[in-house]
Amino acid sequence: MSSQSNFTIYLKLLLMALFWGGTFIAGRLLVGEVQAFSAAFLRFAIASIVLLIITLRTHKKLPAVQREQWFPLLLLGLSGVFAYNVFFFRGLQLIEAGRAAVIIANNPIVIAIFAAILFGEKLNLLKILGIILSVCGAIVVITQGHPAMILYSGVGKGELYIFGCVVCWVTYSLVGRAAMRSLSPLIAVTYSALIGAVLLFPVACLEGMFKQITDYSLTAWLSLLYLGLCGTVLGFVWYYQGIQRIGSTRAGQFINFVPISAILLSAWLLDEPLTVSLLSGVFLVSSGVYLTNRRAK
């Protein structure tokens, strides 16, 4: 593989991390005027159209899906598109973008735990240490540096919604692992986006989307376009290109940059404070994710 192609892949993965970090800022800008189901549907309606165009250009037609493949695809649409995005937008109505990004950064940790439980993957000492660090980081962020708060005040509704995102993404990843044995990543993502958009459409209508859509501001539409094109299409396509070129372990390390980019962007664009607890939490979570996904020598 040429050094130029390596450089291109690394650049795409860095931009993917930046784009995924930016989704928290776009979501935070959006939730002030667009309701959760409507925001989720419009995001994936935009993404589905573009993914269909890419799929048709790549395969010359929409590949047929076998009967046994529909159920995993339905689960992908329900977990990674429908439920995840409703929790995502509801959570961003209540907590800052930076805090949400650090909580969601625990996705690889929870995936590693369930992969060990369900698929028998080994958890060595390094991975266990990574899990402990990441959980400690999440607690520091959730309690804003006062862990004892959990004992007498519990966890806020916004944090619970964002934890819902983690559960949904773990489900999406583990189901996707099985689905992608017989489907390419592009096909699996395209069909799951389409299924999720179809499931979101009726509830978005009941939420009053068509009555409110003409009142959306330019900022709302730009946020939706960003979420659909940069946060979904380019982010996923480049991530899977990275996995194919340099492997899932090396490509997965770039996810460590997502909470960092989200916090820096939220401080710059949303004037969210860079607190000691937030920065400490980012360091602990990123270190934990790195150790958990580090390939043993």
The pLDDT tens digits for 28-40 are 999 989 999 999 9
188-219 pLDDT, tens digit each: 889 999 999 999 999 999 999 999 999 999 99
Count of domains observed in the chain: 1
User: Is residue 35 domain-resident?
Assistant: yes
Contact 228, 50 (CB under 8 A): yes
Angle value at C-alpha 27, between 258 and 169, nearest 5 degrees: 55
pLDDT for the residue numbered 89: 95
pLDDT band at 3, cuts 50/70/90?
low
pLDDT surpasses 50 at 297: no
**Distant-in-sequence, close-in-space partners of 182: CB < 8 Å, separation ≥ 6:** 66, 69
pLDDT of residue 44: 95
Cα torsion angle, 73, 75, 78, 79, sign? negative
Predicted structure pTM score: 0.86
Is 241 inside a domain boundary?
yes
**Coil, strand or helix: which one is 2?**
coil
Among candidate residues 199, 182, 160, 183, the one with its CA nearest the CA of residue 80: 199
Residue 62 lies inside a defined structural domain of this protein: yes
In a domain, 280, yes or no: no
Per-chain mean pLDDT for the chain: 85
Helices and strands in the chain: count of H runs, count of E runs: 16, 0
CA atoms of 222 and 41, how far apart (whole Å) = 15
**Domain membership flag for residue 118:** yes
Task: Convert the pLDDT of each residue in 174-196 to its tens digit.
Answer: 887 777 777 788 888 899 999 99
Please check whether residue 264 lies inside any domain of the structure: no
The CA-atom distances, in angstroms, between 192 and each of 45, 50, 76, 211 are 12, 13, 5, 27
* Per-residue DSSP letter, 231: I
Rounded CA-CA distance 66/70 in Å is 7
- Residues 244-289 pLDDT 10s: 777 666 777 777 788 888 888 998 988 988 888 888 888 888 888 7
Residue-number span of the structural domain to which 43 is assigned: 3-123+155-259
**Contact by Cβ (8 Å): 217, 33:** yes
E strands, 109-210, are none
Q: Is the pLDDT of residue 129 over 90?
A: no
Residue 138 domain-assigned (yes or no): no
In-domain check, residue 297: no
Rank 13-22, 56-65, 144-153 by mean pLDDT and report only the highest. Answer: 13-22
pLDDT of amino acid 226: 97
Query: What element of type H or E holds 272?
Result: none
